Structure 1
Amino acid sequence: MPTLIAWVAWRHWTPARAEVPQAQPVHSVPLEPMGLRADPLADQTVAALIGPWSGADGATGPATDRLAAATRLMAGWTSNGALADWGQDDAAAAAADPAVVAALRAYVSEGRALPAWADAAKVERAEAIFMEQGPLSCTLLFCSSLPECYVLPNLAEVLHIAGQLEQHTEHRIRQTAAMVFPVMMKGGLMDASGAGVAQVLKVRLIHATIRHLILRGEPQTVRGQVAPRLQAGAPTGMHAALMSHGWDVDRQGLPCNQIELAYTLLTFSYSFLKGMRTLGLGLPRADEEAYLHAWNVMGHVLGVRRELMADTMEEAAALFERIQAQARGQTVSPDARPALGRALMQTMERTIRLPVVRGIPVPLTRWLIGPDTARAIGVDERVSWPTRLLFGAGRLLVRLIDTVVRLFSPGFSLSRMFTRIVGYHLLTHFLLDQTRPLNLPDQLLNPLTDTVAAWSDDPGAPGWLNRLEDRWTTTGHWRPAQGVGTTKRPVPDAEAVAS
């Protein structure tokens, strides 16, 4: 028994990165030039919407009206199938500025096409993996993927100025979920009835809008330093904040450049899979590669270059480390990352009603992303000693029990149960609050609610373990008190395209 405990402890405390063999230099693409490459299709579309820039005020007046019109029209992108003939026999498009409609139609026509290498079977398997893990997927999204997004200093700066996320962290979480769930729900990428492609194309235009407004010009033509725009008082509104900030293209690269897009893609694919390994729930190699593949298909729709995509965990680990190493060599002042990281942790803590697990997001995030990354993004605040004791001792005890019991019951996992409990409290607050539903079409919101309701029991766990989980969550289906889809949502405002 002492030998077994020692072995389990060694396996448990060894960083997940050590379990991923270092890849050969399959990703030999130089990163530096990719910092000056953005997304020609989306950038051309936004350039057509904004029109010619007139000094520092190119995106005011009529340009703002056209961006607002584009935002309203994109509300009609309710499914992948709706994109095929969007703009034809559409009352909203018929009443809109023809130039705006033409720009969006050209964008949709080219952007909705999936890559020739997309494998429907792999994408379907990835969807099943995400849904099989259920609330655990949400825990990894909140405690691994989102925190890892803040590691790149320039990307964090863009997030800061685009949304003032320290004050609007919940908005960031909910907007991210509004993209992830349509992508990973059944048929989200490959079926006409899905909505993943439609949602990703909206996000792609948001990135391009941010680039244009920060640089106050077309990204591929701007080099050198974009001076902050002087104005009386603090900027009011999203567009003003973006255009007033300033940017040094030679030092920082383009905002939302190819490196940052590729890294963000990895936070949703590789970080999830790495987190599963850390929790002792690693997937078979074929499943891991299917999951990476599905997100690569999504990355294609998002405008990520194929040479910056990883097909295996070894490739993903190598690229992820290269990009993070590049970020560690950057010096920024002021550094937006700590405020973003702390705001995320505080927001999650406020959502968990159970006092005994309220402080768990901080140590859980540190464990999943590693101490160095945690310090870089400000997830280094002290937690109470009961929380430290509960989490530290619980990790070792859970791994020990799981290791032994799985010899007799392969589906048993306390690790999965506890992360499901955390995920339940996060997703019911952020995603199932019927007073503020996600900004998604009703035909997508209702299936999402049904999907989450079905997560109330872990099909791989014995009945007594599910009953124990109910004591920490709720009994019966995980549904809001009223149907989410019946709640009326506000019409997007003029600046929603850059939010």
Structure 2
Amino acid sequence: MHRDAPHPPSPSMRADPPADLAVAGMLAGAEGPHQLAERIAAVNRELARWDSNGALAHWEPGPGLDPRAGAALKDYLAACLALPGWAEPARIARAESLFMDMSMLSCTLLFCASLPECYVLPDLSAVLHAAGQLEAHTDYRVRSTAAMIFPVMLAGGLTGREGAGVAQALKVRLIHATIRHLILRGSPDDSLGAGPVRPLLPAGGGIYHTLYAHGWDTARNGLPCNQEELAYTLLTFHYVFLRSLRKLGLGLERQDEEDYLHAWNVLGHMLGIERSLMPDTMAQAQQAFLDIQARGRELARAPDPRPALAAALMRAMEDEIPLRLFKPFPTLLTRHLCGRDASADLGLNRRQPLLSRLVFTAGLGLVRAVDALVRLAVPGFSISRMLTRAFGYRLVTRFLMDQTRPLRLPDALLGRLNDALGQWRHDPRAPRWLNRLEARLAGHRAPPAAGAGADADKRAA
């Protein structure tokens, strides 16, 4: 490279130009937090009509939307709707199959690995903290995350016209750009050469007023929801998930791991993440993950929002465990999956009751040993899988299947999701007796298996 050639800005100083341009047009003419909140609410009513991938190609703004916002959204769809040329449908389909096979287990790993690791970056936690005081509304974070993950990973979520993964991803991409616009009170490009955005007293209640008044120092903290933070968040949902499977003795074959990374990288593209920041192998993912965490730890914050976010998440899980002895298990499992450094960042390294620690450690070792031995005769056998599935079912029931608070998804997609959750109550890879034990631990009646449990029993015999 020529000595005088300009260096590109670091990923922490890069945002998402197509989405930022769309939001600038979407909010054009809206001045101050009240008008911005009204315009965003009007746009959200329109985005509710983005209910499937196929619907996006022919979407037209309703008559009540400001014409500037409607034009900006149409231009956004025209620029961002297509999957990347490097997307491979067969690999995406394999990843969908793997996700369906993991089912309830994936929910446990979401709570005990992906979300905690997401909180480790100080600046990312600061944005999450500002976005509605999330330690007081843990279920909101979990439910909004599920509202993106499930549409993407259900069959055809990214590749089918009837799927809704692309539609959900493009909505989330706009949410990130809207957060940037509100916190910076303008475009990211304008903030790069300006001084800090000073905090204000909120002019009203609600998330939009909170973000607008928050204040931000771009020179010190980078842009909010920047490329590095977006890439890191993606890593927490594919790399951390796969790493956690390995730590539980449930690791996938190398090709399956890379297919899973690939599908999520396609999602990353739809979310506006630069291709150069997305890994193709677990080794690349591990290095990127460690590098970003190391840089993030250099940016100490006072007060630190991370322990409060993590504590709220742990309490939400503890509330689903009836026996006092086992209540520390979510924290202990999170420490096992995330490691010592991340646990310290999150304030999860406090001493837990001795008996609970002994039972957890001994139980983890015993389960790994039994699984390894029995799998010599029954390849699909896993007590570790059963236990994490049972806990995952309790979490799903509490946060995702509450009929009084259905997920904010299109009706057709919600029906597909409920059907999938119903199927996940039975593990086709486990013998019938293990399914019955899982049902007792999960607090539901084991559904009749359509031959799968009987086949597993025959293999066990």
Normalised TM-score (structure 2): 0.92
C-alpha spacing 1:83/1:148, structure 2 compared with 1 (3 Å): same
- Equivalent AA in structure 1 for residue 84 of structure 2: P
- Note the alpha carbon deviations across 1:58-83, whole angstroms, 9 max, x for none: 34344332211111000000000110
Unmatched tracts of structure 2, length 5 or more: 1-6, 449-461
2:55 to 63, 77, 82: 82
Q: Matched residues in 2 for 1:445 and 1:371: separation?
A: 38
1:442 is the counterpart of 2:411: yes
Q: Per the alignment, in what secondary structure is the counterpart of residue 293 of structure 2?
A: helix
Corresponding position of 1:342:
311
Equivalence map 1:68-217=2 (5 Å): 68-87=41-60, 93-217=62-186
Q: Deviations over 1:342-380 (max 9, x none)?
A: 111111111334555433211001000101101101223
Q: 2:203–2:209: 8 Å Cα contact kept in structure 1?
A: no
What is the SS of the residue equivalent to 1:117?
coil
Cα distance, 1:189 vs structure 2: 0.5
Kindly provide the amino acid, as one letter, of the partner of residue 349 in structure 1: E
| Distance in 2 between residues matched to 1:330 and 1:352, nearest whole Å | 36
SS at match of 1:246: coil
- Specify the SS of the correspondent of 2:424: helix
Of 36, 48, 55, which aligns to 2:25? 48
Distance 1:440 1:313 in 2: 32
8 Å contact kept, 2:53–2:163:
yes
Shift of 1:335: 1.1
SS in 2 for 1:273: helix
The RMSD of aligned alpha carbons is 1.8
Whole-angstrom distance in 1 between the partners of 2:55 and 2:406:
22
Question: Structure 1 counterpart of 2:22, which letter?
Answer: T
**Alpha-carbon distance, 1:31 to partner:** 9.9
* Partners of 1:108 and 1:117 in 2: CA distance: 19
Partner in structure 1 of residue 452 of structure 2: none
Task: Report how far residue 298 of structure 1 moved.
Answer: 0.1
The residue number in structure 2 matching 1:219 is: 188
Instruction: State whether residues 148 and 168 of structure 2, in contact with CA within 8 Å, keep that contact through their aligned partners in structure 1.
Output: yes
Relative to structure 1, the CA distance from residue 446 to residue 356 in structure 2 (aligned partners, 3 Å threshold; closer, same or farther) is farther
> How many Å apart are 1:176 and its aligned residue?
0.4
Q: Is the 8 A contact 1:69 1:100 kept in 2?
A: no
- Bigger CA drift: 469-478 or 317-326? 469-478
Pair 1:65-2:34 in alignment: no
Alpha-carbon contact 1:46-1:205 (below 8 Å) kept: yes
Bigger drift between 378-387 and 326-335 goes to 378-387
Per the alignment, do residues 404 and 229 of structure 1 end up closer, same or farther by CA in structure 2, a change over 3 Å counting? closer
Aligned equivalents of 1:42, 1:227: Cα separation in 2: 21
Question: Of 335, 353, 359, which aligns to 1:390?
Answer: 359
Structure 1, 38-47 or 352-361: larger mean CA deviation: 352-361
Letter in 2 for 1:429: R
Asked if 1:252 corresponds to 2:225, the answer is no
Residue segments in structure 1 that go unaligned for 5+ positions in a row: 1-29, 479-499
CA contact (8 A) 2:317 2:330 kept: yes
The structure-2 alpha-carbon separation of the partners of 1:269 and 1:62, relative to structure 1 and needing over 3 Å to count, comes to same
Larger RCO: 1 or 2 (CA < 8 Å, sep 6+): 1
- Alpha-carbon contact 2:28-2:69 (below 8 Å) kept: no
Residue 236 of structure 1 corresponds to 205
Aligned to 1:429: 398
For the Cα contact (< 8 Å) 1:214–1:243, is it kept in 2? yes
Partners of 2:198 and 2:88 lie apart in 1 by 46
Counterpart residue number, 1:18: none
Q: Could you list the per-position Cα deviations for residues 203-225 of structure 1 after superposition, in whole angstroms to 9, with x for gaps in the alignment?
A: 11111111011111111111343
Residues 155-188 of structure 1 show CA distances to partners (whole Å, capped at 9, x for unaligned) of 1000000120111111000100011000110100
SS where residue 10 of structure 2 aligns?
helix
Q: Is residue 242 of structure 2 the alignment partner of residue 278 of structure 1?
A: no
Is the CA contact 1:144–1:365 (under 8 Å) kept in the aligned structure 2? yes
Output one character per residue of 1:220-256: Cα deviation in whole Å (capped at 9) or x when no partner.
111343243443x786322221122211111100000
Alignment of 1:286-435 (within 5 A): 286-353=255-322, 355=324, 357-435=326-404
Displacement of 1:39: 0.4
Contact 1:51 1:63 (8 Å CA) reproduced: no
State the Cα distance separating 1:97 from its structure 2 match.
2.4
What is the aligned partner in structure 1 of residue 456 from structure 2?
A: none
1:431 and 1:355 mapped to 2: Cα distance?
Answer: 24
Shift of 1:387: 2.2
Q: Give the fraction of aligned pairs with identical amino acids, expressed as a percent.
A: 54
Using the alignment, how far apart are the partners of 1:170 and 1:366 within structure 2? Answer: 21
Q: Measure, in 2, the Cα distance between the counterparts of 1:218 and 1:52.
A: 14
